[in-house]
Chains A and B, each alone.
Chain A
């Protein structure tokens, strides 16, 4: 089974987010990047498990610049066989999906896996767009994926329950929590990552379709007010007059 896993970087979850240039640019200074957890923990690890069970290969693909190489090598350390970086700065979902699809077309992959979203922009669009470009079925938010022959069985969360779906390979799957467990790369993996191929290919220069205009931070949380449990009147008063919820 030939598996392609889309990997993108995302700021470490403890990053303090701030903006520059009149709130039009994300301030990257001092930011540590990690592999987007949905791509790493779920898509990549499930891909590796399927390879281990059925044979085949796992390739990763990333749209990004040389700055992304560290996160790509982390994916190699976890166990991907080889990696490709499409050498262009990602601008929006449409451009990224078009670039990945153009690359994926050449590879005749049975499965294209990616995280359900990145933890920075939470767009959730790339998977669907890739599927459209490749004319493949797309299953989003899958939390379970098994393959039997050329048939994939997937569980996906729906409001208040789980839906089981079946689809024929090849297909594109966006992976959610539950798909696999985080794998800590081991020493052998880390040392092997250096020697595994990280191919850089030039982009097709797909156009972006949207532009970021401005960012804003959420309003700061107001302080918590503690009220003596014996003072219910005050609580009621505050809920009524200040919070205006009752």
Chain B
């Protein structure tokens, strides 16, 4: 590995990263492979055969499957050994989340229990709270829910109306209010409830026993998908909670909520990867079996295009997810080395990469939706039948763009987080942005052209980063305070950042693979990178153009548009042939095999 000063969250925009500095999924060790296989076996044994019963919400079934996951140790991967857990590193928890991500509703129940359910107590609880709750949550004896959303407070989570009042004797808080869309509510024993004390501006978090007097539930929501996942409204009517059940400090709840959701976002990227791979497998299998006009439909270019595109999106998401996972592990280790305890360090490490977490949430959920949508298309009429596996996959996938912060909120967050860090001086965006602005006014410097199989792509990547700097830099200057209201422009900048991060991740991954295995062995992966760059250059051009035309005019706009054209220029490439090649590989194997 080259000399590293650890990369910071959001820094990819201004910093070049080397292939040897990223982790790639080609590097899982034997133990991690075994954990992955364990998850596959678990899904095959406990979930797959029960999908119908799970979706019909058979009484007691989901909790019992969670308990079985607990017996295997799957509920306690993030929990340190002292508290009865496995204490594996972050990227390994992502890997398990990916493999369990093929479990439809189970995957959601699992994610909610181990993520937003368990982590608030693990990361913000005091020693007593942790000792009381974590071992039982880790074993699966108790299940957990996270109660943030209310009927009138969704994206605007801090606007919740649920109240907590201290009793006169100072021993209890009395909670009143209503929570909505609460995952696992039907069987949870432990609730993390966010409420406001008195006239506080900010939320406070409480650990609440779901069996407390005054708690009642609405019936299960009737949902489009993840029908086997319990989702209910929870009512709090004078619910007495001992004061020692406050989590962290008064007024710290919103911060807890955001940090926990932030972890959930990258975990969601892991989970959708599992779903995407299984969606691709179904697509390939069906396309190979289904014959029309005398040939399997997997022989037709239109279908092969779809399969190749599914593969590309999945491979790209995977590259970025585990790259970020390793960055987080490195950041956690650095905080531990500074003397921070493991939980604090984990929280800080993940928070450091909050921009990437938001990026991955958006990119991952949209990749999955592409995959399942085309899976239905490949199945044709059968895809519309409730008896096909892809019908469930299609419905179940849709939630991922909505929860853990909608994709709109996450797009805005991506930009907001990066700009805030720039304002605070943690990220030097302004210097490099100024350089790009100067470059626009001077004769283009073509510099040293990169060499090798990815010369074109590395050059384009530099241009993509310049595009972000040019567009974001001048948007900040021009719009100042009003930028926050110019959401269309924010969306454009978010897309520029997302596409660039994904492109860089897949490029670095495959370049690293080539260094290890040689070009010949990586020819399909090279086709993925080249096709992705060829496509994304135009997309980046379009996002940039839309933004520039929205806030600039006249010569200034002209100059930026000229720069944009240069920055997003990419050599011609036969992406049709490349997609044929990518599709051929998986069609021959009968499954996703990258």
B30-A187 in contact (CB<8A): no
A77 within 8 Å of B (CB atoms): yes
Of B34, B42, B73, B589, which is within 8 A of A188 by CB? Answer: B73
Say yes or no for A107: interface residue by CB 8 A criterion. no
Partner pick for B41 among A182, A188, A193, A194, CB 8 A cutoff: A182
Shortest Cβ distance from residue B534 to the other chain A in the assembled complex, whole angstroms: 28
Distance, CA A77 to CA B41, complexed state (A): 14
A222 at the interface (CB under 8 A from B): no
Q: Are B38 and A190 in contact (CB under 8 A)?
A: yes
Number of A-B residue pairs with CB-CB distance less than 8 Å in the complex they form: 43
The answer to whether A77 touches B73, judged by C-beta atoms less than 8 angstroms apart, is no
Partner of A184, one of B30, B45, B590, B591: B45
* Contact indicator per residue, chain A 181-192, by CB within 8 Å of chain B (1) or not (0): 010111110110
Question: Is B31 in the interface zone, CB < 8 Å from A?
Answer: yes
In A167-225, which residues have CB < 8 Å from any B CB?
182, 184-188, 190-191, 193-194
Question: Measured between alpha carbons, how far is A70 from B37 in the docked complex, in Å?
Answer: 13
Across the interface, do A14 and B34 meet the contact criterion of CB distance under 8 Å?
A: no
**Pairwise interchain contact A16-B34, C-beta atoms closer than 8 A:** no
Q: Which chain B residues lie closer than 8 Å to A194 at the CB level?
A: 31
Q: Are A185 and B31 in contact (CB under 8 A)?
A: no
The chain A residue sitting closest to B68, CB to CB, is: A184
Tell me whether A73 is interfacial, beta carbon within 8 Å.
yes
**What is the CA–CA distance of A229 and B327 in the complex, to the nearest angstrom?**
62
Q: Which of B30, B38, B45, B589 contacts A185 (CB 8 A)?
A: B38
B217 at the interface (CB under 8 A from A): no
User: Do B591 and A74 have beta carbons less than 8 Å apart?
Assistant: no
Could you mark each residue 55-78 of chain A with 1 if its beta carbon is under 8 Å from any beta carbon of chain B, else 0? 000000000000001100110010
Measured CB to CB, the nearest residue on chain A to B46 is A184
Contact B41 A184 (CB under 8 A): yes
Residues of A contacting B76 in the complex (Cβ-Cβ under 8 angstroms) = 187
The CA-CA distance from A62 to B35 in the complex, in Å, is 22
Residues of chain A within 8 A of B74, CB atoms compared: 187
- B479: interface (CB < 8 Å): no
Assess the B71–A186 pair: CB atoms within 8 A. Answer: yes
Alpha-carbon gap, A186 to B138, bound state (A): 14
Complex-state Cα separation, A69 to B33, whole angstroms: 13
* B contact residues around A73 at 8 Å (CB): 30, 34
Interface residues of A, count at CB 8 A: 17
Contact, CB under 8 Å: B34 / A77: yes
For residue A109, give the distance in angstroms from its CB to the closest CB of chain B: 27
Q: Are B45 and A187 in contact (CB under 8 A)?
A: no
Do residues A185 and B591 form an inter-chain contact, with CB atoms below 8 A? no
- At the interface, yes or no: B62 with Cβ under 8 Å from chain A? no
Please indicate the chain A residues that have their CB under 8 angstroms from the CB of B35 in the complex: 187, 190
Contact with A along B374-393 (1 / 0, CB 8 A): 00000000000000000000
Q: How far is the CB of A199 from chain B (nearest CB, A)?
A: 18
B344 to A: closest C-beta gap in Å: 24
Q: How far is the CA of A187 from the CA of B38 in the complex (A)?
A: 9
Cβ-closest chain B residue relative to A181: B45
- Give Cα A4–Cα B86 distance, bound, in whole angstroms: 30
Contact mask for chain A residues 29-44; partner B; CB cutoff 8 A; 1 contact, 0 none? 0000000000000000
Tell me if B73 and A187 are in contact (CB < 8 A).
yes
B77:A187 contact, CB within 8 angstroms:
yes
Residues of B within 8 A of A70 (CB): 30, 33
Kindly name the residue among B38, B77, B591 whose own CB sees the greatest number of chain A CB atoms within 10 A.
Answer: B38
Q: Does B422 contact A (CB under 8 A)?
A: no
Least CB distance, A8 to chain B, in whole angstroms = 18
CA–CA, A74 to B590, complex, Å?
26
Which single residue of chain A is at the shortest CB-CB distance from B40?
A: A184
Given A182-B45, A184-B45, is A191 in contact with B31 using a C-beta cutoff of 8 Å? yes
User: Cβ of B484 < 8 Å from any Cβ of A?
Assistant: no
Contact residue among A16, A184, A191 (Cβ-Cβ distance under 8 Å from B42): A184
Which residues of chain B are within 8 angstroms of A185 by Cβ–Cβ distance?
34, 38
Q: Which parts of B71-90 form the interface with A (CB within 8 Å)?
A: 71-74, 76-77, 86, 88
Q: Which residue of chain A has the shortest Cβ distance to B593 in the bound complex?
A: A30
Known: A74-B34, A191-B86. A186 touches B591 (CB 8 A): no
Chain B residue nearest to A32 (CB atoms) is B33
Which residues on the B side are within 8 Å of A184 (C-beta)?
38, 41-42, 45, 72
Q: How far is the CA of A233 from the CA of B86 in the complex (A)?
A: 67
> Which residues of A sit under 8 angstroms from B77, Cβ to Cβ?
187
Residue of B at shortest CB range from A184?
Answer: B41
Q: How far is the CA of A14 from the CA of B86 in the complex (A)?
A: 31
CB distance from A169 to the nearest CB of B (A): 32
**Cα-based distance from A158 to B499 in the complex (angstroms):** 63
- Does the CB pair A187–B86 fall under 8 Å? yes
Q: How far is the CB of B533 from chain A (nearest CB, A)?
A: 27
Given the interface pairs A184-B38, A190-B35, the reply to whether A16 lies near B589 with Cβ below 8 Å is yes
A69 CA / B38 CA spacing, docked (Å): 18
Contact mask for chain B residues 43-75; partner A; CB cutoff 8 A; 1 contact, 0 none:
001000000000000000000000000011110
B41 neighbours in A (Cβ, 8 Å) = 182, 184
Convert B258-300 into 0s and 1s, putting 1 for each residue whose CB lies closer than 8 angstroms to a CB of A. 0000000000000000000000000000000000000000000
Besides A182-B45, A187-B72, A187-B74, 9 other CB < 8 A contacts? A14-B591, A74-B34, A77-B34, A184-B38, A184-B41, A185-B34, A187-B86, A191-B31, A193-B34
A–B Cβ pairs within 8 angstroms, 15 of them:
A14-B590, A16-B589, A70-B33, A73-B30, A74-B34, A182-B45, A184-B38, A184-B42, A185-B38, A186-B38, A187-B76, A187-B77, A187-B86, A187-B88, A190-B31
Give 3 nearest A-B pairs by CB, closest first: A187-B73, A186-B72, A184-B41
